[in-house]
Structure 1
Amino acid sequence: LAPWLVLQLEKNGVVVSPLPPDIQNEIQKKESTQPKAKACQQYNLVEYTKNLILLDTGQAKLMTPFFPLEILRKIKGFEEARYADPYSGGKGNSIRFMAIAPCDDSLKVEGVSNLYCAGEKTGLLVGHTEAIITGFLAGYNAVCRLAGKEPLVLSTELAAGDLIYFMHQEMKTQEGMKKKYTFSGSVYFERMLDLNLYTTDLKNIERRVAKTSLKGIFKSKIL
C-alpha cells in the first residue's frame, strides 16, 4: 500500500476508499466479488460495493470476498498492493462450512454419544461471540456427559439459546441452508429485534438469565 494510505489506516483503524465508477462497473461484472458471496452476510450492504474498506487488524484487511489484483492495482494508493493471505488473492479465499457436524441444540453430534462441537462445526454460524458461546456450551455438556448428567440446552428466551435453536431449524429448509447466522447482522439480527432479544442493557440481560435459572451456570462445579 502507498505510505499515505498506511498512515491513514494506522491512525484511524479504518480506510474507506470510494471506488471510481469504471472500477465499480468492472467489479460488478464478476459475481464472486459481490458482498453476498461472503460468509459474513452482515457485510452485504451497498456501501461495500461502492467503496474499498480496509481494517487495521495488524495487516490491512480488505472487506470484500474477492478482489482481482489486476483491478485493485488500478486504484490510487493500491498500485503496488499484494495479497499476503490468502496467497491466491483475487482468485480465491478461505473455504468454509465444508465440515459441519449435524448436532442437536445441546451441541451433541448425531450418532456419537460423547462428542460435542462448537463454532462453525455446529452449523452455518458466523462470528467470534458465537464461537465463544457454543464453545462454553459444548465444553460444559462434555463434562456433564462424564458426570452422567443431562446436557444443557440454552433457553430460547436468551439470544444465545435462540440463535442455536433458530439456526438448526432454518437449516432443515433449503432456503435456510443458503444463509448464515450471526448476532452481528443479517437474518438473525432482524429476528433478535423482532423478538425483543437485542439489548445492550447489562442489568436487563442479567435479569433475563436469572429468570431462566441459568445465572452462574458455567461457574457451577459438575465433577
Structure 2
Amino acid sequence: MSRPLAPGAEAGPLTKGPGGSAIETLFLDEFLIVVLKPAGLHTQPPASRKETSLLDLLSRVHGPSVRIVHRLDYDASGLVVFALDRRAAGPLGAAFERHDVKRDYRALIPIPLEPGTAGIIDAPLRAVGGRTTVDPSGDPAVTHFRARRNGTFLGIAACELEISLETGRMHQIRVHLQHRLSPILGDTKYGGRPFPRLALHAFRLSFEHPMTGAALSFERAPEWPGDHGETHA
C-alpha cells in the first residue's frame, strides 16, 4: 500500500546522511521510495567506492533490491526516486529516458534579474572527462529558466531561479547558466563564487507510478545558507 509520509519522516533508523542527519522520506510503498538527498552525498557509489552513497544507505534499510533510476549531482540537493524492485525499475527508468518524468530545480546566481524574467537556453553540450562544455557538435540540450526572487545569502546578493529541463545532460543546468547568465553560487568547478554548497536543488519531482498508474508529485523547497529572501515572482 502506498504511504505518503509526513514531512521529516525517516526511511529507517540507519538512513543517515553527511554528519548523521536523517534522510527525509516523502513517499514509500512496496515499489518506490522518494527521498530528499542532501548536498555532499553521492546518489550511487563512486568509482573509488571510498565514500558511502545514498543507494548504499537505502540498501541497508530496504535490502539489495533497491535500484537507481536517475541521478543528482554530488554537490546538489533535492528529490530522488529509487525503485525497490526490478518490476518498477524497468518502466520507471524508461520514463526517465523518454523525459516523461518532470523535474524542476532552483538555483542561485549572483546577478540581479527582474522577478518573472524568463528564458530558454538552447545550447548543445559535450561531456568529456567529468566536465561538460557547450559544443555546437554536442548533444542537444534545452533549459528553461524563470527568475523567482532576488535576495541576500550570507551577504551575497543573488537571484533565485526556477528551472526545468527538456533534456538531461550531465551538468546541464550548471553549464547552461554559466554560458548564458552566470555560474551558480558555489559551483567552483565552472567558475562560480565560493559558497558553503552548490546552490542547486531539485525541488519538484512528478511522474506516473510505474505499477499503479497513479499521478505522483512531490515538492521540497531548498534551504539556502543565510537566506534573507526579498522579492518573489
TM-score after normalising by structure 2: 0.26
In terms of fraction of residues, the more helix-rich structure is 1
In terms of fraction of residues, the more strand-rich structure is 2
TM-score after normalising by structure 1: 0.27
Higher-Rg member (1/2): 1
**Relative contact order, CA 8 A, sep 6+: which one is greater?**
2
